[in-house]
């Protein structure tokens, strides 16, 4: 790795808390591999400091940051420009700090979770023609990116199952302002009956809740009383652990599974490319994946 010197460029992660994040190891491994004099550092920012922290990033010449929980929606009013896909999703996970001319710096917000999710699906050969209906559990920031990505891909119907029905209705009405999306989403309160109903129609299940995350690795959004349908592909956004209880239930009946690491890697690669202008090859994507897998195993 290059020594830090007067030309080192800085990017990082803004969120609270972020001590568990694998992004610094993942991004720095690629800077080293490409011989770039850049560093990715964690910026844990408590909620009362977020506005001043964003100003400070510009003042310090930071080139960009990832934005994570709880700020993906909260940062929107602080931005000078927002990418169309981030506006559609209503959430930003990547900031670029750009020169706006006359010495002024501007904050540009984008969302790489949405295309990162689509790329993760495409990388396993997921075809829209064979997957007309998808079920998504959760209605938070991650669910917004996932649902926008699915609708953009052309999925005919997205079932949104959430504990708080008001929240999923709000999500549907906000995302539904775009094209014909409102008619392609359907919501149910999360329950065993709703899981069975949606699973009977869907071929892909996406868990966009934190259920199953360490230290609650024994938990699953799929109750033990229901047999797990073997026709479902399961994408669990949760990590760590790498193989959540939900993914173990799915794998036990022979269903195809995708871990949360895939989204972490794909969205991280797209953010990297936005900041540096470099194109990452499959070698670098695989390096990121390996670093994350090793980071979880530690
Ligand atoms: P969020 O905005 O806080 O939303 C959480 C959602 O999960 C809400 O819809 C909430 O339902 C639901 N939920 C929470 N606890 C639940 C429980 N015990 N049972 C059922 N539903 C529950 O969080 P987020 O940003 O969307 O993130 C969701 C998960 O995705 C997190 O674990 C996060 O780490 C993960 N994630 C992973 C990646 C990746 O790169 N792999 C990227 C983004 C997010 P209510 O509305 O009813 O409260």
Residue 280 confidence (pLDDT): 98
Query: For residue 73, how far is its CA from the centre of ligand 1 (angstroms)?
Result: 14
267-296 average pLDDT score:
97
Q: Is the CB of 85 under 6 A from ligand 1?
A: no
Kindly report, residue by residue over 5-25, the tens digit of the pLDDT.
999 999 999 999 999 999 999
Q: Is the CB of 240 under 6 A from ligand 1?
A: no
Residue 101 confidence (pLDDT): 82
Q: What's the pTM value of the predicted model, to 2 decimals? A: 0.96
107-118 average pLDDT score:
97
Residue 298 confidence (pLDDT): 64
pLDDT category at 1 given cuts 50, 70, 90 is: confident
| Helix runs in 78-164, H state only | 84-89, 113-123, 141-153
Q: How many CA atoms lie within 13 A of 233 on its CB side?
A: 18
Query: For residue 251, how far is its CA from the centre of ligand 1 (angstroms)?
Result: 22
Kindly report, residue by residue over 59-80, the tens digit of the pLDDT.
999 999 999 999 999 999 999 9
Between CA 217 and CA 220 the distance in angstroms is 8
Query: For residue 41, how far is its CA from the centre of ligand 1 (angstroms)?
Result: 24
Residue owning the nearest CA to atom 28 of ligand 1: 209
Exposure pattern of 44-69 as b/e (b: 16+ CB <10 Å)?
Answer: ebeeeebeebbeebeeeebbbbbbbe
Query: For residue 32, how far is its CA from the centre of ligand 1 (angstroms)?
Result: 32
Quick check: 185 pLDDT over 90? yes
Residue 187 confidence (pLDDT): 98
Kindly report, residue by residue over 211-238, the tens digit of the pLDDT.
999 999 999 999 999 999 999 999 999 9
Residue owning the nearest CA to atom 3 of ligand 1: 140
Residue 99 confidence (pLDDT): 86
Quick check: 104 pLDDT over 90? no
25-43 average pLDDT score:
98
- Give catalytic residue positions: 72
Q: Is the CB of 216 under 6 A from ligand 1?
A: no
Nearest atom within ligand 1 for CA of residue 262: 41
Cβ-Cβ contacts under 8 Å for 95 (sequence gap 6 or more) = 14, 54, 57, 64, 65, 66, 67, 75, 79, 107, 108, 109, 110
Q: Is the CB of 139 under 6 A from ligand 1?
A: yes
Residue owning the nearest CA to atom 14 of ligand 1: 209
The alpha-carbon radius of gyration of the chain (Å, integer) is 19
Quick check: 103 pLDDT over 70? yes
Asked if residue 70 has a cis previous peptide bond (ω within 30° of 0), the answer is: yes
Residue owning the nearest CA to atom 40 of ligand 1: 264
Quick check: 183 pLDDT over 70? yes
Quick check: 259 pLDDT over 70? yes
Query: Is the distance from CB of 50 to CB of 74 less than 8 angstroms?
Result: yes
């Amino acid at each position: 790795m290059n020594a830090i010197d007067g030309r080192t460029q800085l990017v990082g992660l803004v969120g609270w808390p972020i001590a568990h994040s694998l992004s610094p190891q993942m991004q720095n491994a690629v800077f080293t591999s490409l011989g770039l004099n850049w560093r990715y550092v964690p910026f844990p920012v408590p909620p009362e400091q977020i506005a001043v922290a964003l100003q400070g990033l510009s003042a310090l010449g930071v080139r960009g940051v990832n934005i994570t929980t709880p700020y993906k929606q909260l940062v929107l009013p602080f931005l000078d420009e927002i990418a169309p896909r981030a506006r559609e999703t209503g959430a930003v996970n990547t900031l670029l700090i750009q020169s706006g001319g006359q010495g002024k710096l501007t904050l540009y917000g984008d969302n790489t979770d949405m295309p990162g999710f689509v790329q993760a699906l495409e990388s396993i050969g997921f075809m829209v023609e064979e997957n007309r209906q998808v079920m998504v559990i959760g209605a938070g920031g991650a669910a917004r990116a996932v649902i926008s990505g699915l609708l953009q891909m052309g999925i005919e119907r997205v079932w949104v199952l959430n504990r708080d029905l008001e929240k999923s209705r709000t999500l549907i009405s906000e995302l539904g302002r775009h094209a014909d999306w409102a008619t392609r989403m359907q919501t149910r309160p999360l329950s065993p009956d709703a899981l069975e109903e949606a699973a009977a129609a869907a071929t892909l299940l996406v868990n966009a809740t934190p259920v199953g995350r360490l230290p609650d690795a024994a938990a699953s959004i799929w109750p033990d009383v229901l047999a797990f349908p073997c026709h479902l592909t399961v994408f669990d956004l949760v990590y760590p652990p790498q193989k959540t209880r939900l993914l173990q239930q799915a794998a036990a009946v022979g269903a195809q599974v995708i871990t949360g690491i895939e989204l972490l890697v794909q969205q991280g690669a797209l953010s990297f490319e936005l900041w540096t202008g470099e194109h990452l090859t499959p070698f670098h994507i695989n390096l990121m994946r390996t670093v994350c897998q090793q980071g979880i195993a530690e």
